[in-house]
Structure 1
């Protein structure tokens, strides 16, 4: 048999959507990671999200452990290039605040939100908003009652029962947009728990070895668990939980899926902001035009298309190359440094030309051939004009923040 025709069978599951990313139901296996910044640090979190997008991440999770974090999410969501999942622990009201902030999904841990009325309140609100929830069972935070039931130890049966209990609460309120994980730091325990869960439900499954540790041992440990299950057709979305920069998690996930033939390799990794109130161009059109212009060129770069010069170069500073619109001009940047200004109509052509130059000559040569200080001054001038014209809150994020603050009472 031709090696190129060998594929792993995929378990048939229901399909849900996290933002515009399909999960399950035959969709490509998605790659997830989690920000390590304080969510209230909006700019720092967005920079990390853009770096994750450039590294191949499809979905990103941010903690929502306090109202300040929910306020941060209200400002982050409209500027994020990736769907945002809010990570909720202990306080069910944080789930309500996160949904008000506009997130694309939630992760709930049955081990630390245990009151049925709280669980069902969150599920009901998610149902009404059309948002998915991940039931995130963790071997290290199992419900004490289940821990005791199974002899004072974590077992695959205990983890699966935890997930199914939570699922039953969701069923009571008619909520079904669910994916499930049963993570553990012990690889054989994690593998067996997912095997049992796959037999018990047809909901999509999120794979991971929790607390895998730092590379290289953490990479080996996570790969052992995730790859074993993927080879058996189990798993619809994955995360490497490493003690490292989350960008390493995204890269590891992409490399694993490519190695298993479960995701196609790309010549170019083009990321784009989702557009917002400050965008100066039709970002979708420019991104599509750029993809068409790059075509089948063998250019293994990460390229960003940003809607405005106010935040673009900073948020996508880890991309190899990018362009941000501002006042009918395109501001080119390389690794976050402004390098040139071109007419808006020439943005795509300039992207391709610079990409080809970088591939042939390298980033240092690209930066050396221009006056970066002059390009920076031009970008700052357009940035200031945009802020004067559209204000600092073109996305109306502060209105959501005020609603979230009202939840204090």
Structure 2
């Protein structure tokens, strides 16, 4: 197991971040925040797949005023994403958000920053200092020659010092670039300098396939280093995929247990059942299960029975058929056309029983 870096713990609504708290999974709505119904509907979908904190863009005052109705309609913490206009931050806080994401340096004078900090402090609202490589201060770009990891860290530290000057420490930090090496270097440097919790991610990572790979590499390196208290996978696509990928990264490192963990055969010339379609359908049909059920979908007799037998529930394919194993015992042999329905039904029943047993302990 990896040794997590110890950080100061803060609260974002009901979710603890840092310290010994589990690494939380976040996403961002992709609706127009001014459309309350659409935004709330998307948040409910995200919550159903495990999203623990949600952020929404606040481009204008109408969007800021919509946050109150959104917050009253959801059960997870809401973060307002603010740029440039400190009045939007004040309105968001007034509307009951749990945190705001902004850069103190881009909302104007120290008086404006102090106004936001005072309001956040009096309403117990956390602040995320969010530094992106694409929007660094001009003097830092001139000093370092480009948006280097060192420039990102110096930018973040400026913002931290400004908030600390006003007595505010209920904060977390992110330093995101669109490439993995620079992102990793920036977070490693920052981890040596502060004890604040870190929100980690690779920004603008790309489409589902490329973005998943890039995020998995970047977040995997950092999390294996013990760096990261909350994560967001940034994909050009559905925010539901952001949450799913986030959990898969954490599950792969044994940092969180959430939902089905599937071991599946890559297939080869020995496979005599359509294991590719079978595994994809098993993953889709069991996606609603939140209990960490260990599932094996194997294609032949070489490794299949052993892997399937070692899982909570598994199947091993044969010629137009498959064997189903449940908790170490063979349940039976089933034809290829019946295999999927029987397997998913048995998996759902087993997950419900194990979850009930766990909650009773």
Q: What is the TM-score normalised by the length of structure 2? A: 0.72
CA contact (8 A) 1:34 1:60 kept: yes
Task: Tell me what 1:234 maps to.
Answer: 227
CA contact (8 A) 1:139 1:154 kept: yes
Q: In structure 2, which of residues 41, 45, 54 is the aligned counterpart of residue 47 of structure 1?
A: 41
Q: Secondary structure at the match of 1:97?
A: helix
Task: Tell me what 1:190 maps to.
Answer: 183
Q: Secondary structure at the match of 2:106?
A: coil
CA distance in 2, matches of 1:43, 1:143: 37
Segment drifting more, 107-116 vs 13-22: 107-116
Is 1:301 aligned to residue 294 of structure 2?
no
Q: In structure 1, which of residues 48, 58, 62 is the aligned counterpart of residue 52 of structure 2?
A: 58
| Structure 1 residues 12-58: Cα deviation after superposition (integer angstroms, max 9, x where no partner) | 00000111000001100000100010111111001110111111111
Task: Tell me what 1:81 maps to.
Answer: 75
Q: In structure 1, which of residues 9, 33, 38 is the aligned counterpart of residue 32 of structure 2?
A: 38
CA distance in 2, matches of 1:210, 1:54: 24
Task: Tell me what 1:144 maps to.
Answer: 138
CA distance in 2, matches of 1:119, 1:187: 31
Alpha-carbon deviation of 1:362?
12
Alpha-carbon deviation of 1:114?
4.6
Alignment of 1:207-356 (within 5 A): 207-266=200-259, 301=288
CA contact (8 A) 2:29 2:56 kept: yes
Alpha-carbon deviation of 1:361?
9.5
Task: Tell me what 1:180 maps to.
Answer: 173
Alignment of 1:129-140 (within 5 A): 129-140=123-134
CA distance in 1, matches of 2:37, 2:167: 37
Q: Secondary structure at the match of 1:145?
A: helix
Alpha-carbon deviation of 1:258?
1.1
Q: Secondary structure at the match of 2:71?
A: helix
Is 1:360 aligned to residue 333 of structure 2?
no
Alpha-carbon deviation of 1:127?
1.2
Q: What is the TM-score normalised by the length of structure 1? A: 0.64
CA contact (8 A) 1:16 1:178 kept: yes
Task: Tell me what 2:64 maps to.
Answer: 70
Q: Which has the higher contact order (CA 8 A, sep 6+)?
A: 1
CA distance in 1, matches of 2:71, 2:216: 30
CA contact (8 A) 2:49 2:288 kept: no
CA distance in 2, matches of 1:100, 1:128: 11
CA distance in 2, matches of 1:110, 1:96: 13
CA contact (8 A) 2:104 2:162 kept: no
CA distance in 2, matches of 1:300, 1:185: 29
CA distance in 2, matches of 1:196, 1:65: 32
Q: Secondary structure at the match of 1:180?
A: strand
CA distance in 2, matches of 1:104, 1:218: 28
Alignment of 1:364-375 (within 5 A): none
Inter-CA distance 359–46: structure 2 relative to 1 (3 Å threshold): farther
Structure 1 segments of 4 or more deviating over 4 A?
Answer: none
Alpha-carbon deviation of 1:70?
1.4
Q: Secondary structure at the match of 2:234?
A: coil
Q: Secondary structure at the match of 2:192?
A: helix
CA distance in 1, matches of 2:224, 2:186: 16
The gaps in structure 1 that reach 5 residues or longer are 1-6, 268-298, 304-356, 364-409
CA contact (8 A) 2:259 2:289 kept: no
Query: What value does the CA root-mean-square deviation take over the aligned residues?
Result: 2.3
Alpha-carbon deviation of 1:137?
0.3
Alpha-carbon deviation of 1:113?
2.6
